[in-house]
Amino acid sequence: MFDGLGDAVTVYEVSPRDGLQNESAIVSTAEKVELVQALRAAGLRRIEATSFVSPKWIPQLADAEALLLALAADDLARDGEYSALCPNSRGLQRARDTGVAEIVVFVSASAEHNQKNLNSSIDDSLARLREVVQEARQTGLRVRGCVSTAWGFRSEQDVDLRESARIGRALMDMGCTELSLGDTTGVATPRKTHDVLSCFLAEHPAVTLSMHMHDTRGTALANVLVGLELGLRSFDAAIGGLGGCPYAPGAAGNLATEDLVYMLHGMGIPSGIDLDKLIEAGKVAARLVGHPLPGKVHRASLGTPRTAHSTAQPVR
């Protein structure tokens, strides 16, 4: 069982963006740098640092330019690969002034969620993003495309898989180089995950696809296991299980990075991450946001000796 899953996995960390956008308290720029330093120290390389969205919509990330410039100037953080969400040409303009290497464009497969999140229809969003992506690519930026609510919005039944696939196709056609499939509200279960991933894999190679699971109902790791078995090697996660979309009511945190890495290493799958240092990064995150975090390994670490979390898996 689980033979042939040994290839390394890339963990794409979203806590500075997806995590902090959902906090009621504003974390300062200097504190965000401290969080990123802790994530980098644990071996995380690809980090979604912030968003160039409207500060009226997401005030928590209004310091996007200042944060990226601070990261570029910081000895402990400057060699990370940072990306930032970008909803329109204004966002791209802001991103270009910071030297960020990658932007992330996002469209929801649920018309209702897209309207709440981007204040526009799906097709208007796609039309707007086509120009943004083309301009970004012309100036040498990488572009990640995210299909939000790819499994469903209020339930697994309310989004047609063909609509998720259509949006994924449109994002790739306009020039995105990889796709992140978002279970924004954590409705996914393994059978539907098999259907969603099989549908996308029929058109796109596994290396192009990433899973972005929210753990609202505790099914995120079960879904990741399906992805691993189907050949996916990139997973989004947030330290301590931070995260959620303010425009998706009840959407709880992302899959916790520590939970993902604990499972990967236990299965002998390398990630390049030091789990003990990752657990320390989770404690930094909890201190900065000022409340306990929901991640399971994070919780267990608070009452367990440090060595209990080290697995046989070496860090590579």
Q: Which residues bind Mg ion (CB under 5 A)?
A: 18
CB of residue 286 to ligand HMG, shortest distance in Å: 21
CB of residue 69 to ligand HMG, shortest distance in Å: 16
Q: Which does 311 bind (CB under 5 to 8 A by kind): ligand HMG, Mg ion, none?
A: none
CB of residue 11 to Mg ion, shortest distance in Å: 15
CB of residue 180 to Mg ion, shortest distance in Å: 9
What span, in angstroms and rounded, lies between the C-alpha atoms of 116 and 122? Answer: 11
What span, in angstroms and rounded, lies between the C-alpha atoms of 211 and 190? Answer: 13
φ, ψ (nearest 5 deg) of residue 249:
-55, 135
**15 contacts: CB under 8 Å, gap ≥ 6:** 35, 39, 238, 239, 240, 242, 243, 254, 257, 285
**Please, is 294 exposed, middle or buried when counting C-beta atoms within 10 Å of its C-beta (0-12, 13-18, 19+)?**
middle
- Looking at the DSSP assignment, which residues form a beta bridge with residue 181? 147, 211
CB of residue 182 to Mg ion, shortest distance in Å: 6
Q: Which does 119 bind (CB under 5 to 8 A by kind): Mg ion, ligand HMG, none?
A: ligand HMG
In the residue annotation, 245 being an active-site residue is answered as yes
Q: Which does 46 bind (CB under 5 to 8 A by kind): ligand HMG, Mg ion, none?
A: none
What span, in angstroms and rounded, lies between the C-alpha atoms of 276 and 311? Answer: 10
Closest CA to 188 of 231, 218, 146: 218
The answer to whether residues 201 and 193 touch, using CB atoms and an 8 Å cutoff, is no
Q: Which does 316 bind (CB under 5 to 8 A by kind): Mg ion, ligand HMG, none?
A: none
Of 6 and 59, the one with the shorter C-beta distance to ligand HMG is 59
Of 182 and 295, the one with the shorter C-beta distance to ligand HMG is 182
Catalytic residue among 86, 146, 176, 245: 245
Of 91 and 168, the one with the shorter C-beta distance to ligand HMG is 91
Q: Considering Cα of 71, then 35, then 244, then 206, what sign does the dihedral take?
A: positive
Q: Which does 210 bind (CB under 5 to 8 A by kind): ligand HMG, Mg ion, none?
A: none
**Interface positions with ligand HMG (CB under 6 A):** 18, 21, 51-58, 85, 87-88, 90-91, 94, 106, 117-119, 146, 148, 182, 184, 212, 214, 245, 247
Of 18 and 259, the one with the shorter C-beta distance to Mg ion is 18
Q: Which does 91 bind (CB under 5 to 8 A by kind): ligand HMG, Mg ion, none?
A: ligand HMG
CB of residue 13 to ligand HMG, shortest distance in Å: 13
**Please, is 31 exposed, middle or buried when counting C-beta atoms within 10 Å of its C-beta (0-12, 13-18, 19+)?**
middle
The answer to whether residues 48 and 212 touch, using CB atoms and an 8 Å cutoff, is no
Of 244 and 282, the one with the shorter C-beta distance to Mg ion is 244
- Looking at the DSSP assignment, which residues form a beta bridge with residue 83? 48, 102
What span, in angstroms and rounded, lies between the C-alpha atoms of 81 and 45? Answer: 6
Of 46 and 309, the one with the shorter C-beta distance to ligand HMG is 46
Q: Which residue is nearest to ligand HMG (CB)?
A: 182
What span, in angstroms and rounded, lies between the C-alpha atoms of 211 and 259? Answer: 15
What span, in angstroms and rounded, lies between the C-alpha atoms of 182 and 51? Answer: 16
Q: Which positions are catalytic?
A: 245
